[in-house]
């Protein structure tokens, strides 16, 4: 029997569903197929923050800066996880962003310092530098592809809508077509969101640099200078890898929606830093000066 546009209802539904499925498969599968494979060689990374970005993104960079500043005594951490600035202003732009966020009487939490650092111009400059070095993509390479996918969904949505209106006007059953239109609309919205996002990815060159760093950290030889000290450990493994357990626990407090917003953040001015008696490698035992300043339960307990 004849149908709208020369297609019967079942025929149109079949072709429409196939077209939607093809676009979905291309959207999901093509980026995986087109993604560069293998690991390229390259020179040494300029500093530990490039390594941190490759290992964990902007938040890991912020965590590494926190670790470096705590280790040098430029940040102090109390038992409640509040971080306050101490000492002179650091010269590195990333460290300066974190240090400035910890100024004031109450300082800030690790979470707030991360948020400040990831939005800073210093982080944008670091990303741009890594893109120029071929360690990161700019995030714009896939924009033409995502635009084409969005256009395909829009065309299918428009065709389906016109068919729906025409079929309804001709008293044709359009229930199944309505369901497919809902699916097409959802896919169009998802494609629009994906197109609007800027997704920075690690290049094969960056993957190679990260792989060499991980290999150096696990090998029997002395690690490279980038991996030395708490900053290197945190760059590869996060704040949980900070070599002092008490400081690590203080820097990673339990999740609290309003952590650090109340008073009593640093009772009696007590704090722990690597330059104080609660330094890396020491323990907060009762009776010691660190025990009295961090509380009987230990620093960050």
pLDDT tens-digit map of 147-183 = 899 999 999 999 999 999 988 888 888 889 999 999 9
Residue 229 lies in a domain: yes
Same structural domain for residues 225 and 111? Answer: yes
Same structural domain for residues 115 and 60? Answer: yes
Residue 292 lies in a domain: no
CA 33 to chain centroid: 24
From edge to edge, which strands make up the β-sheet containing 108-109?
A: 75-77, 82-85, 108-109
Same structural domain for residues 99 and 222? Answer: yes
Same structural domain for residues 183 and 209? Answer: no
d(CA 293, CA 66): 21
Residue 87 lies in a domain: yes
Total of domains in the chain: 2
Does 196 score more than 50 pLDDT? yes
Same structural domain for residues 133 and 235? Answer: yes
Does 286 score more than 50 pLDDT? no
In this prediction the pTM is: 0.56
Q: Of residues 143 and 192, which shows the higher confidence score? A: 192
Same structural domain for residues 58 and 177? Answer: no
Question: 194: pLDDT confidence band, cut at 50, 70 and 90?
Answer: confident
Residue-wise pLDDT for 100-144, tens only, equals 888 876 778 888 898 889 999 999 899 888 888 888 887 655 678
The upper half-sphere exposure of residue 211, i.e. CA atoms within 13 Å in the direction of its Cβ, equals 12
Domain that residue 169 falls in: 11-36+143-196
Same structural domain for residues 133 and 54? Answer: yes
Same structural domain for residues 132 and 91? Answer: yes
Does 189 score more than 90 pLDDT? yes
Cβ atoms of 40 and 204 within 8 Å: the answer is: yes
Residue 5 lies in a domain: no
Reduced to 3 states, what is the DSSP secondary structure of residue 82?
strand
What do you get for the CA distance between the two ends of the chain, in Å?
A: 77
The mean pLDDT value for 231-243 works out to 88
Cβ atoms of 64 and 49 within 8 Å: the answer is: yes
């Amino acid at each position: 029997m004849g149908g709208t546009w020369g297609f019967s209802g079942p025929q149109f539904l079949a072709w429409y569903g196939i077209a939607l499925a093809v676009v979905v498969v291309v959207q999901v599968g093509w980026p995986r197929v087109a993604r560069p494979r293998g690991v390229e060689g390259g020179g040494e990374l300029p500093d530990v923050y490039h390594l941190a970005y490759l290992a964990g993104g902007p938040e890991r960079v912020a965590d590494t800066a926190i670790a470096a500043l705590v280790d040098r005594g430029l940040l102090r951490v109390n038992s409640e996880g509040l971080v306050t600035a101490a000492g002179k202003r650091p010269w590195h732009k990333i460290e300066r962003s974190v240090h400035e966020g910890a100024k004031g009487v109450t300082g800030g939490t690790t979470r707030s310092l991360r948020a400040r650092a990831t939005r800073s111009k210093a982080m944008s400059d670091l990303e741009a530098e890594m893109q120029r070095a071929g360690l990161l993509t700019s995030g714009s390479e896939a924009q033409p592809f995502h635009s084409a996918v969005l256009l395909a969904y829009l065309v299918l949505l428009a065709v389906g809508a016109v068919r729906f209106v025409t079929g309804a006007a001709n008293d044709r059953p359009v229930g199944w077509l309505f369901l497919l239109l809902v699916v097409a609309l959802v896919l169009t919205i998802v494609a629009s969101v994906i197109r609007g996002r800027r997704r920075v990815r690690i290049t094969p060159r960056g993957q190679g640099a990260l792989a060499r760093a991980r290999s150096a950290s696990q090998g029997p030889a002395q690690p490279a200078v980038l991996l030395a000290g708490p900053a290197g450990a945190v760059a590869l493994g996060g704040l949980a890898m900070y070599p002092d357990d008490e400081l690590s626990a203080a820097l990673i407090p339990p999740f609290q929606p309003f952590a650090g917003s109340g008073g009593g953040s640093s009772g009696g001015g007590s704090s722990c830093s690597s330059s104080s008696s609660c330094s890396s490698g020491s323990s907060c035992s009762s009776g010691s000066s660190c025990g009295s300043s961090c509380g009987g339960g230990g620093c960050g307990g």
